[in-house]
A and B are shown apart, each in its own frame.
Chain A
Amino acid sequence: MSEQNTPFDHRPDLVLGEALRTALAPRGRSEFVARVLAAAARPADPLVDVLARWSRLGIAAALLAALAATLVVGRGSRGATESVVGGADPEAVVAGVQAPEVGVLFASYSDR
């Protein structure tokens, strides 16, 4: 890392490189190599692979189903609201509701 080096220098910075190399120096090389070779020698579990593939497919299918259901339900509820309101003034719809007459409500009891 000499002072003449510019940040855009095309050559590797030997001082910085060496400092980083020392900082990143791994330990236990032979243990690591042995560990990788042992892992490579271990047979892959085909059942786990198959299950993992299935689960991915299952999640994708569930997401699609949820999306479709949301669209259908959303469209259905919008249609229901429109059919109730029918383009009329909402206040008129609410104000127009009349309470049922008490006589009609208790007619079946009074007839007995």
Chain B
Amino acid sequence: MAEAALAARARAGDRVAFGELVDQYADQARRVARAVLQDPDDADDAAQDAFLAALVKLHQYDAQRPFGPWLMRIVANAATDRRRRRTVRRAESLEEGLVAGGARPDVVAEREALRGQLREALARLPPRRSLAVTLFDVEGYSHAEIAEMLGIPEGTVRSEVFHARRRLRTLLADWRDEG
């Protein structure tokens, strides 16, 4: 497995190998972090923290297993911790943002508005729920892999994906009806 070899080299101090791992997983890690945090800067900070933590913990990585789920577990924890530390004031402003809506004349603006609403809806979900649906529907991980990443039973992952989808599909359907 190429990732395992890269991880082994990174663990031995090879910065180029670590750079390749970061390059390979940067987008995924940032998306997963943003599913929990909404704010792109916060998400990037959490993703960076996760990569640095992964570098320190590389000796714990089992090379027989895929690298992605192991890394995404660290990303999920970093993003969830950061979200927990955020202030109540910020959460309140999020609520206000969701209520605000209204018709937008321009299609591009409408699509951007939908993306914003999806991000906000994701950020309003409990972190575990937004992580579950993002890891499943966006990143393509299996229920079993997500269960291991989040440290919860597989049935709970299915339930979390179900509830998240219900909320997000409603949002998409509303947008289509309006369009």
Enumerate chain A interface residues (CB-CB to B < 8 A): 1, 7-8, 10, 12-13, 15-17, 19-27, 29, 32-33, 35-37, 39-41
The docked-state distance in angstroms from the alpha carbon of A29 to that of B158 is: 31
Residue contact A37 to B26, C-beta cutoff 8 Å: no
- A24 with B22, Cβ < 8 A, contacts A7-B165, A35-B48 known: no
Residue contact B30 to A32, C-beta cutoff 8 Å: yes
13 CB-based A-B contacts, threshold 8 Å: A7-B162, A19-B172, A20-B35, A23-B114, A24-B31, A24-B34, A25-B27, A26-B40, A32-B44, A33-B22, A33-B23, A40-B55, A41-B15
Residues of B within 8 A of A20 (CB): 35, 118, 122, 133-134, 137-138, 168
The docked-state distance in angstroms from the alpha carbon of A37 to that of B21 is: 11
Residue among B30, B43, B137, B162 making CB contact with A16, cutoff 8 Å: B137
Q: Within 8 Å of chain A (Cβ to Cβ): is B19?
A: yes
Residue among A10, A16, A33 making CB contact with B19, cutoff 8 Å: A33
The docked-state distance in angstroms from the alpha carbon of A26 to that of B166 is: 25
Residues of A within 8 A of B22 (CB): 33, 36-37
